[in-house]
A = this chain, B = another copy of it.
Amino acid sequence: MGLDGDHFCLELENGTKPGGNDLGLEKEPKTIAIEDAVKVLLQGLGEDVNREGIKKTPLRVAKALREGTGGYKQKVKDIVQGALFPEVGLHDRVGHAGGAGGLVIVRDLDMFSYCESCLLPFQVKCHVGYVPSGEQVVGLSKLSRVADIFAKRLQDPQRLADEVCSALHLGINPAGVAVILQCWHIHFPNLEPVFHDAKHQGWIKVLVSSGSGVFENENADAWCDFLGLLKFRGVTADKILTMDSEKKSWCPSYSSSVAKGSSELIAPNPRMVAAIASILGSLGEDPSRKELLETPSHFVRWLMNFQNTELEMKFNGFTCGIKDVLKPNGECSHNHQQLHAELSLSFWSQCEHHLLPFHGVVHIGYLCPEGFNPIEKSLLQSIVHFYGFKLQVQERLTRQIAETVSSILGGDTMVVVEANHTCMISRGIEKLGSNTATIAVLGQFSTDPAIRALFLERIPSSTTSGMF
């Protein structure tokens, strides 16, 4: 394909000034206050806030947090108004085609929200239904827009469902509203068990519901119709959490505190805690609201998993133990090289551009002489975690793992990292299904496409299929 320089320039000249809103947002006192607070967090992590990769992180985080919680500023009435359409034949009688017209359901609305307990985003699949009355129906897209107003706040799944239900009921005055939310929250890494435990790759799931009017009673017949049209999405009545049950166990920030026992927990850095509390205030929340009291500590504990560590020392610690790794096994070694592949090693990391987690799997391929034992999986997993648990970018993580493995083996290494980036889900672009793969190649892998292809073929298909 030819590159058309003129065409590119044309784009630039034709453009009008974009991001006019952004410039306004950047200068608002609340944005600047959040920026300052994020600098405190970065310093608490042992980072140099003027480092090239992170010097704009405070602004990025501030803008993203304010946009991602923009629901505090939106009015339900403005969205619903003008979107109520008269439909002849939709009378007040419920349950007739010529009456209330039966049920209207919008399914599979993908959105995200922010967990009020730990400030991390969580993913939501929202199903909304209502029974029209009073000869009017609402524009279908408004169900999604109203749900989004409440999602873009600090939330708990049940409260989110209740608020969406209540707002729709008051906004469109139907015979009833039903809301079902499937929510996914990332696990928190527990540094010790994560080295041996694969469960941290999964997600914490919860299913909640809320109903008004003909759906107010959870045993109402109307629920059967609604659930009947959701059953293929894995939604069934028995999986729905009853209100207040396990209320505290949804966010892993609670369970990880409980697991360790409060006496064992290291007290979080008070400057960082105060910084988070000030961010909550800047977003329009009351940091003294009961549900938010522990949020600053939870977020700081999460963040401290990714503290800047004494790189050289630990790295030497790894390499010291490595000399004995590659030794001949019983058989005689030839000059033939064998491809070894260690696939789907889990990793956790924190995006240094957005201060949000990215996580997924690492695949490591290397050549070693026939007759030699492959590197133990646990050592490779340790290398992966060592480079993962810090502020990172995926490209660097990939390269660092490749270089370290290569330094053990003396050359021929290929590393593929497949990751879901929370920042791609929740910040700005909202590409919920997207994921990122990066490749680093050294030695023979950089010159031989056939050996690369051989390794790529071994990578399983489902490693980054996300949560759905």
Contact = CB atoms under 8 A, between A and B. Distances in A.
A228 B7 contact: no
Contacts of A8: 76, 166-167, 170-171
A8 B427 CA distance: 27
A1 B216 contact: yes
A228 B423 CA distance: 25
B7 A166 contact: yes
Given A8-B170, A95-B447, A104-B436, 18 more contacts: A4-B166, A14-B72, A19-B78, A96-B446, A97-B440, A102-B398, A105-B438, A105-B439, A107-B437, A110-B431, A141-B428, A144-B429, A221-B452, A224-B456, A225-B439, A228-B452, A228-B456, A228-B459
A267 interface: no
A77 to B, nearest CB: 5
A324 interface: no
Contacts of A73: 14-16, 18
A406 interface: yes
Nearest to A223: B449
A199 interface: no
A232 B204 CA distance: 26
Main secondary structure of the interface of A (DSSP, over half): mixed
Given A110-B431, A398-B101, A56 B82 contact: yes
A202 interface: no
A15 B166 contact: no
Contacts of A396: 87, 89
Interface stretch (A290-298, A314-322, A413-421): A413-421
A53 interface: yes
Contacts of A462: 232
B106 A75 contact: no
Interface string A303-346: 00000000000000000000000000000000000000000000
A108 B434 contact: yes
A141 B413 CA distance: 28
Contacts of A87: 393, 395-396, 399
Given A225-B452, A453-B224, A101 B440 contact: yes
Contacts of A278: none
A349 to B, nearest CB: 13
B102 A439 contact: yes
Contacts of A441: 95-97, 102
Contact of A393 (B16, B85, B428, B429): B85
Nearest to A427: B141
A148 to B, nearest CB: 8
Given A87-B396, A141-B427, A11 B436 contact: no
A46 interface: no
A103 interface: yes
A3 B76 CA distance: 15
